[in-house]
Chains A and B, each alone.
Chain A
Amino acid sequence: MRQPLIEVRGLHFHYEDGTPALNGVDFQLFPGETVALLGANGSGKTTFVLHLNGLLTGEGSVTVCGMRVDKDTLPKVRQKIGLVFQDSDNQLFMPTVIEDVAFGPLNMGLSRDQAVARARAALEQVGMSAAVNKAPYHLSAGEKKRVAIAGILAMDPEILILDEPTTFLDPPGQRALAELLDRLPQAKILVTHDVEFAMTLANRAVFFANGKLAGEGTVTDIVQRFGWNQAHWRSQSCTSER
């Protein structure tokens, strides 16, 4: 029996004003897996994901790589889990690409030279070596996303979590991203509305509703069970040919 990389048991979370966000979530992530988190806006997907690296703290247990997520283990947990946010502009906050990608390694305590080496290697991995001294503002959305991923890879994580990664990307960008993610060996969690994207990469999907997991299975299973697709209204309401 494989040891799960992430184990969540009975996670509850309330917002400051008392509204419940998570109502008892149980979840597991195994090595090499890619899991898609599907669900409506406000169903708790992003809130859930923020608990995994301790950005939010709720009731229940969250265990990452055998460590219980609490105040003392946060630095190690955050090295193991790489979180890629939806808006890359919020993630690339340093003035140049190399400084941004080296941010994580420097915080881990590496020396300047080691951090730069790691950063260059990560940029090589995502195919952005040419942008080393560029300012993030001048990059396209797809390039920013790749640099953001490089910033995470430079920390050598075991798990990648991507929050709505295809927002802001055009179809070629989405394809390039899918190819990149396919090449990466880490276990992945994709929070996404893009069903096609999920189908390309994920071998498992979970469906969030009202702060709980309402279902689990392959992406196709979930789509069929919950009617979670975009094609549905199109074929029904439009009578002329495509």
Chain B
Amino acid sequence: MSCWAIRGQTEYFRATAARKYLVSPRIAARGDSETLSPGTVPLDLPSSRPHFSHLPLCRQPVARSFQSCYREVFVHIPDGFLSTPVWATMDVAAVPAVGVLVRRAQRGFDESKVPLLGVMGAFVFAAQMINFPVGIGTSGHLVGAALLAITLGPAPATVVMTAILAIQALVFQDGGILALGANITNMAVAGTLAGYLPFHFWGAGKWRKASIFLGGLLSVLVSAVLALAQLFVSGVTMPASVLGISLALFVVSAALEGAITLAVVQSLEAINPGFVRKPESRGSFALGTLASAAVLLAAIGVLFASTQPDGIEKLAQTTGISAHAKALFTTPLTDYQAGFFSAPWLRRASAGLAGLGLIYGACVLFGRVVSRKRGA
């Protein structure tokens, strides 16, 4: 090869790489034509479709789901899990909530914000590919509800999360359609708003970092607890030990989300302080603690109430629903109650513990194998 050709190639690759990958954040943030390639054609990288295209078709959906099962922090409830009163109520509850939030996000009839919200929704999807190393064999990824709320505002963030859930349910069959009301309420509404709450109250003072961390933590924890609660009320049986492990996992995932959100917000501020909203300056510590605690307690309260079948049954009877409901839908809550307190419970609990551990281990292993193959 001629001198020029080799030199040209090297210069070309180096220049493109510098521009595409190693470019300083400040330049990347401006993104206008003046800072982009002066005439050189950027490298046409192999169209690197993310995820599992290297696997044979039969293994792709399995691989995807295994990854989701060990990494999925947000519980996308599929159809068939929730009992009819639960999914129907959640659908009915979600409609006005989403309507109100859409109107708030839209501010009148202006649709100018659509590209921003859409693109940031795509960002959240894409952000799942960036791995945050956590420990032995695991890595986490950003969920994004709290980050969106802190940067775009709570109402727009809710709309973005709703759109994300809709696309996931429709295009990727990740989460059910009838269960969409529940998923939206858990993640897009409760999770996002819970993620914003600490920042709203304490984001202006010296508790700023803690408030961002707490926001990330709450967004995941509240949505997970609500999802669990809905599953319990629907009669999905789970021995107490498994429940304990699930909650522990959720707390760990929630803390991870808090850490990731905080780290990303700090990096964002270094690029452009304007990205992060200014929270309102009435930083009342007491009010903030109260609000956050109230949210968390409410979520946990729902969870525990749902494991007390008496409460639900009594409610159903007093409102007269149960008489009609029994004809069409039966709740297996009575079965659950029997299972929970009888002697074989201990045996089942330890079996459940072992089973869960096995499944979790398998997921971690499979996920690591897959991610290594992906050339991470």
Contacts and interface: CB of A to CB of B under 8 A. Distances in A.
| A/B contact in complex, CB under 8 angstroms | yes
Interface of A: 41-43, 45-47, 86, 93, 163-164, 166-170, 191-194, 230, 234, 238-242
Nearest to A239: B3
Contact of B39 (A163, A167, A239): A167
Nearest to A164: B33
A46 B33 contact: yes
B7 A193 contact: no
Contacts of B37: 167
Given A167-B41, A230-B39, A242-B2, A45 B34 contact: yes
Interface residues of B, number: 17
B46 interface: no
A192 B38 CA distance: 8
A137 to B, nearest CB: 11
B166 to A, nearest CB: 15
A238 B10 CA distance: 14
B39 A193 contact: yes
A50 B167 CA distance: 35
B350 interface: no
What does DSSP make chain A's interface, helix, strand, loop or mixed? loop
B36 A168 contact: no
Given A164-B33, A191-B33, A242 B39 contact: no
Given A86-B36, A163-B33, A164-B36, A238 B41 contact: no
Contact of B42 (A43, A163, A167, A240): A167
A233 B293 CA distance: 67
B35 interface: yes
Contact of B38 (A93, A193, A240): A193
A78 to B, nearest CB: 15
A157 to B, nearest CB: 20
A192 B39 contact: yes
20 contacts: A41-B35, A42-B35, A46-B33, A164-B33, A164-B39, A166-B39, A166-B41, A167-B39, A167-B42, A168-B41, A169-B41, A170-B41, A193-B38, A193-B39, A194-B39, A234-B8, A238-B3, A239-B3, A240-B2, A240-B3
A242 B35 CA distance: 31
Q: Which of B3, B4, B37, B41 has the most chain A CB within a 10 Å cutoff?
A: B41
A124 to B, nearest CB: 28
Given A238-B3, A238-B4, A93 B33 contact: no
B115 interface: yes
Nearest to B32: A46
Interface string B25-57: 000000011111111011010000000000000
Contact of B7 (A42, A167, A230, A238): A238
Contacts of A194: 39
Contacts of B32: 46
Nearest to B35: A41
Given A163-B33, A168-B41, A193-B38, 6 more contacts: A41-B38, A46-B33, A164-B33, A167-B39, A234-B8, A238-B4
A148 to B, nearest CB: 14
Nearest to A167: B37
A192 B35 CA distance: 13
Interface in B105-122: 115
A45 B42 CA distance: 21
Given A167-B39, A167-B41, A41 B34 contact: yes
Contacts of B115: 93
A165 to B, nearest CB: 11
A2 B304 CA distance: 82
Contacts of A164: 33, 36, 39
B118 to A, nearest CB: 9
A52 B37 CA distance: 23
Contact of A241 (B2, B7, B34, B39): B2
Contacts of A41: 34-35, 38
Contacts of B41: 166-170
B112 to A, nearest CB: 13
A166 B37 CA distance: 11
B3 A167 contact: no
B38 to A, nearest CB: 4
A27 to B, nearest CB: 18
